[in-house]
Structure 1
Amino acid sequence: MSISIENMTKSFGGTPVLRGIDLTVESGELVALLGPSGSGKTTLLKIIAGLEWPDAGALDVHGTDWLRLAAQDRRIGFVFQHYALFPHMSVRDNIAFGLSVRPRATRPPKAQIAAKVDELLQFLQITHLGERYPVQLSGGQRQRVALGRALAIEPSILLLDEPFGALDAAVRRDLRAWLRDVHDQTGSTTIFVTHDQEEAFELADRVVVMGDGRIEQIGNADQIHDHPASPFVARFMGATVELPVTLNAGRAEAPGLDASRLPRRALPDGPATLFLRPADITPQADPNGRWQVARCDSNGAILRIDLRDGDSTIPVDLPRRAPQAAALTRGARVTLRPEAGAIFPAPRGAPAPITPVEHRKEKAI
């Protein structure tokens, strides 16, 4: 089932939450809505489900105007972060619930419902849990039951809101691979909400990065990581170092900066901001360098280095066995060589700030 959203807006109490969303999801596609809290991704998911209504815009699903349909008529499978299982029902009854409460005219016979539940228990690899109650299950098992309940009604669209957010990291990794297999086998159109970048890029065919009620960028992991479309996306993807530079014939220039590894950019000459990730910066020993090593910590594999220039401090992550590492003792002066970065014209006014570094916790060397 394809989904088309056009110019969708939504406000709560006068505060805009969605600011003109345009998005198309192809039939059978798995799309992630990725962004920080407050970006509007859950609100958009709820509007698709019929749990919220937009102030304006269109929602077309496979040629049907879904804004004319009530939630119960959309045949949506919805999986929440905190499972929302019925504690007084067994696993089997939880999975059967959506079929059991259908109007009598459309309700399948009991034998058909039982057969569907058996099929899903086997498909979800939880056959041995059918007679247990939610309190007797682990978090990962509960989430499988929640997905089974959503799949039982054979939904036209599957929606998942932070489905693994309440689980520990190891269980999340296992369930991500499992969910992708479920999606591929069912062929459903799936949209899931997450703030976890690794989860989004591992699972989804396409990732929709949202911020402040807008879609900032749509693409795959490499596209968004290497070519962020806006300063917001660059920061969200970990480019926490922001250096004021001057663009000259497409090259970034600044004191203490060797930008020879960066490609020329088709941008006008003048002030700009260079966005860098700490792992994409190579400090090069230089007695006349602008930056000075203020701190150098190790976690065994990575050196976490703070470089200072006056009141400005930037973080650098460097492999501990990198050739440059031996020269980076406290007090050494260096020049910065970015290996990759994003450049955006600076807003009119003051130059972009350098992001302060977070407190380092590893043992100093």
Structure 2
Amino acid sequence: MAIQINQLAKHFGQTQVLRGIDLNIEKGELVALLGPSGSGKTTLLKIIAGLEWPDAGALQVDGADWLQLAAKDRRIGFVFQQYALFPHMSVRDNLAFGLTVGSRANRPGKDVIRRKVDELLQFLQIPQLANRFPTQLSGGQKQRVALGRALAITPSVLLLDEPFGALDAAIRRDLRRWLRDVHEATGSTTIFVTHDQEEAFELADRVVVMGDGKIEQIGTADQIHDHPASPFVARFMGATVELPVQMHAGRPEARGLDLSRIARRPLPDGAATLFVRPQDITPVLDPHGDWTVTRRSSTGAQLRLVATHPTLGEVEVDLPRRDAPDGLAAGATLTLRIEVGTLFTTPAAPQTAATHTLHAAPRKENAQ
């Protein structure tokens, strides 16, 4: 099913949680709604499901106006973070539930339901769990059952709200790969909500980054990582270091920063802000440098430094510990070389700021 969303808006009291959402999703596409808490992504998902209603806008699925349909008439498969399994029912009965509650005219016969459940048990790779109850299942097993129950009705659209949020990291990784396989096998149009960047980028065909009720950017993992469209996206993608620079003849300049790897950019002269990830800063020992190492810690694999500048404040630097030069101790003076970053002119508003992503050759240790 192809989904078209136009100018959807939603208020809860005085709070506007969706601010004119426009989004098209192709048939068979898997799309992630990614953003922090309060960005509006779950509200958007619930409107598609028919569990919330917008104040304005349009929602069409294969040309049909879904705002004229009740939730029960949309044939939606919805998977919640907390599974929502019926505790008094076995796995088999949970999977069969959606097939048994339709109108008598549309309800399949008992033999058809049994065969469908048997197929799902095999497809979900849990036939041995058929007669267990939810209290006898692990978190990952419960989530498979919840997804199977949603798939049982052959949904027109599959919606998942933080489906792996309650699971530990190892199980989440396994289930992400499994869910991608399920999606490709069923060909369903799937939308899932997450605040986990790794999850969104590993699973989705496209990622929709949301913030404060708006869509900030739509794209693939590489597009969003390398070309954030706004300061909000840059920060959300880990560019937590913000450095004031001055543009002059298309080049950013700042004392204490080596910006030699930054190509000339067609930005106006004047103030700008350089957004950089800590791992994209190379500390260069320099007896005349303007930065001083004030804190050093190690995670074993990574060396983390805090460097301080008399006017620019503190900057975090993250680099592989084994590749760090000798002498990076507290009190060492540095020049900071910027390998890659994103530049936004200031003081223009974020949504209208000119943006250019700056590319340079990666450090040797990061080269593929």
Q: Shorter chain as normaliser: what TM range?
A: over 0.9
* Alpha-carbon separation, structure 2, partners of 1:305 and 1:203: 33
Q: Distance in 2 between matches of 1:321 and 1:261?
A: 24
C-alpha displacement at 1:263, in angstroms?
A: 2.7
Q: What is the rounded CA distance, in whole Å, between the counterparts of 1:263 and 1:110 in structure 2? A: 68
Aligned to 2:209: 209
1:1-365 alignment, distance < 5 Å:
1-310=1-310, 312-322=313-323, 325-347=325-347
3-state secondary structure, aligned to 1:104: coil
Post-superposition Cα deviations, 1:314-334, rounded to whole Å, max 9, x if no partner, equal 110011222x52132221111
Q: Distance in 1 between matches of 2:317 and 2:99?
A: 55
By how many angstroms is 1:283 displaced?
Answer: 1.1
For residue 257 of structure 2, give the secondary structure of its aligned residue in structure 1. Answer: coil
Alignment-mate amino acid for residue 313 of structure 1: E
Q: Which amino acid aligns with 1:227?
A: H
Question: 1 CA distance for matches of 2:327 and 2:262?
Answer: 24
Cα separation, 1, equivalents of 2:120 and 2:316: 49
Q: Which amino acid aligns with 1:314?
A: V
Deviation at 1:294, TM superposition (A): 0.9
Q: 8 Å contact 1:162–1:192 — kept in the other structure?
A: yes
SS in 1 for 2:163: coil
Q: Distance in 2 between matches of 1:247 and 1:195?
A: 34
For residues 52-94 of structure 1, give each alpha carbon's deviation from its aligned partner in whole angstroms, at most 9, with x where no partner exists.
Answer: 0000001010010100100000000000000000000110110
SS across alignment from 2:164? coil
Compute the TM-score of the two structures, normalised by the length of structure 2.
Answer: 0.93
CA drift at 1:165: 0.2
What CA deviation, in whole Å up to 9, does each residue of 1:257-303 have, x standing for no partner? 11111233332211000001110000111122110011222222211
Matched with 2:363 is none
**C-alpha displacement at 1:348, in angstroms?**
6.0
> Does structure 2 retain, via aligned residues, the 8 Å contact 1:305–1:316?
yes
User: 2:45 & 2:266 partners in 1: Cα distance?
Assistant: 37
Deviation readout 1:17-73 (Å, 9 max, x if unpaired): 000100000000000000000000000000000000000001010010100100000
Is the Cα–Cα contact under 8 Å of residues 29 and 188 in structure 1 kept in the other structure? yes
In structure 2, distance between residues paired with 1:92 and 1:299: 46
Can you give the 5+ residue segments of structure 2 that lack an aligned partner in the other structure?
350-368
Q: How far did residue 310 of structure 1 move?
A: 3.1
1:134-177 deviations in whole A, cap 9, x for unaligned?
00000000000000000000000000000000000000000000
Query: Which range moves more in the overlay, 252-261 or 154-163?
Result: 252-261
Determine if contact 1:7/1:20 at 8 Å carries over to the other structure.
yes
Mean Cα deviation higher: 259-268 or 271-280: 259-268
- 1:319 partner amino acid: P
Contact 1:9–1:54 at 8 Å: present in 2 too?
yes
**1:276–1:340: 8 Å Cα contact kept in structure 2?**
yes
Alpha-carbon distance in structure 1 between the residues aligned to 2:264 and 2:63: 45
User: How big is each residue's C-alpha offset from its partner over 1:66-123, in whole Å with a ceiling of 9 and x where there is no partner?
Assistant: 0010000000000000000000011011011011000101100011011100000000
Return the letter of the residue paired with 1:317: D
Q: More displaced, 303-312 or 110-119?
A: 303-312
Asked if the contact 1:96/1:113 (under 8 Å) is kept, the reply is yes
Comparing 312-321 with 335-344, greater Cα deviation is found at 312-321
Write the distance in 2 (CA, Å) between the matches of 1:65 and 1:299: 53
Kindly provide the CA deviation profile for residues 241-265 of structure 1, in whole angstroms up to 9, marking residues without a partner as x. Answer: 0001011122111110111112333
3-state SS of the aligned residue for 1:198?
Answer: helix
**Other-structure match for 1:354:** none
Aligned length: 348
Q: Distance in 2 between matches of 1:124 and 1:26?
A: 25
Mean CA deviation greater in 166-175 or 301-310: 301-310
Gapped regions of structure 1 (runs ≥ 5): 350-365
Amino acid at match of 1:326: D
The 8 Å contact of residues 318 and 325 in structure 1, kept in 2 or not, is answered as: no
CA distance in 1, matches of 2:46, 2:319: 43
Cα distance in 1 for partners of 2:320, 2:133 equals: 49
Change (3 A) 1:258 1:86: same
TM-score, length-scaled by structure 1:
0.94
